[in-house]
Structure 1
Amino acid sequence: MAELSVQSEVNKQTKYINFEKVSKRMSFRIFLNNAVKILFFLSTMFGFVVLLFLLYRIFADGLGWISIDFLTNKLSTLPERAGIFGAIVGTIWLMVIVGPLTMLLGIGTAIYLEEYAKKGKVHSFIQTNITNLAGVPSIVFGLLGLTIFVRMFGFGPSIIAGGMTMSLLVLPIVVVAAQEAIRSVPQHLREASYGMGATKWQTIKNIVLPASIAGILTGVILALSRAIGETAPLVALGIPALIIPIPGGVMDNFTVLPMQIYYWTIDSVLVDEYAQMAAATIIVLLIILFLMNSIAIIIRNKFQNRF
């Protein structure tokens, strides 16, 4: 009886010790969870506050410069007469080249890699390089465009050279996004199409692409958003921000809003008004970017609701 009493007391002590250890672990995990949650919240708030501060400075400095004259005048060395009409037209021309070219090459590459290419070392090599290209600095694409499109093909610092260079820059984004969207299409939809007698291309055109269009357009939106705000590749191409004629074709010289912002920011050391004009140009660029994204999102949601 004495031995049983001692054993019972030991078991109670062991249970108490185990419960105390479990309680300490649970308390530590709860504390760690709360600490990490607070850290993530502070990180989010830091980025949000910085964004609000930047937007406040931009709108406070540039809102007073936005007017019809500023939007319709050509570039000038006199701040009171300077406008950004040429830069707006150049930006639109650039997107006219980048948008269709990037979608055609990017979606076509994704379809080939997902639907036609055989899985193997060659496929893995191409896939790895496409993924790595997404992390290459943009200035490298600018040097590539300078070598091939400006000098080898003789396009010069024209719209076609800038559009092709920007298409190469954002192409990996579209390819990767399109591949993920195509992979997400259930296999039984393809098999049902084949069972009805459809060919592979008919299945891709009528089943796969409509079902994946929402994800594909998401990648296109991200790609165009990056292309419209890039400056480094255009600097490498030698795109000017001087007083030049309004571009009327793809072979004309041009400038874009990011380039104008870049040069006015540099020249603000000499002329104080240039800093305010750069802020006003940023506002216009944000509005154009917002309109482009809104249209693309509306189109994406329309196809998403249909399919």
Structure 2
Amino acid sequence: MNIIELITSNISTILALVATGVFAGILAGLLGVGGGIVIVPVLFFLFQGFGVSAESAMLVATATSLATIVPTSVSSILSHNHKGNVDFELFKHWALFILFGVLAGSWLVTRVDGTYLTMLFGVIATLSALNMLLRTGKSVLYQQLPGRVGQTVMGTSIGFFSSMVGIGGGTISVPLLTLYNYPAHKAVGTAAAIGLIISLPAALTMLVLGSTPSDAPTGTLGLVNLVGFICIVPLTVLFAPVGAILAVKLDARKLKRIFAVVLLITGLRMLAQLLI
């Protein structure tokens, strides 16, 4: 089968993946949310629509999401560093612990049933949505970051759970850091650097060590769907500035609450699917 025949025979899948890239890019620029929290559930339900089992769909969605985060996180790091918002001192202290958590989590993904990942993502998505909806203003529980042991646990946990559900780390690290009176703008900028150290080793681990499910979508290598990667990445990068422009013209706070409601429904739906 030549490339033209391959494209025409999978045109509906390719168009759906293109739409995913556009959607993720606009939301990233509009609301400042990480691509993974959008891409994973979209791919999860999309792949099932094309006949992939829920277990396989979650495994491939997780790995593919992490792969797409690699190039976008590099762009994000450069942007935030230009504004002086990346705390490389904190990143240096956390990097090894995050990496340890990532390697443990991504290896586990290649060994567990996708059902567990669906449950974990559903829980994290639900908690993230509730955080967006209920946490108003500056909710600070502690005045400074914990000591070395506490930060070791924080860094390792961020790497472990983020790699297991296909997100870049900002979904967990930003609200966690701001609870400790850490400046929000620096939390977001540093999360971009954290996203790279999560996504790159995790995606490579799932690409090399992952066993491709028998019902995986066309173009899947290991657990990474290369067709999805190629379709999503350029459009995410292209449409993120569009979202940023829209953010100036629209009520971003209201839109973020709408997104939180959609994310809450998505997380609960993924959890409900496990019970049906």
Work out which structure has the larger RCO, using CA pairs closer than 8 Å and 6 or more positions apart in sequence: 2
Rg larger for: 1
Give TM-score, length-normalised by structure 1: 0.26
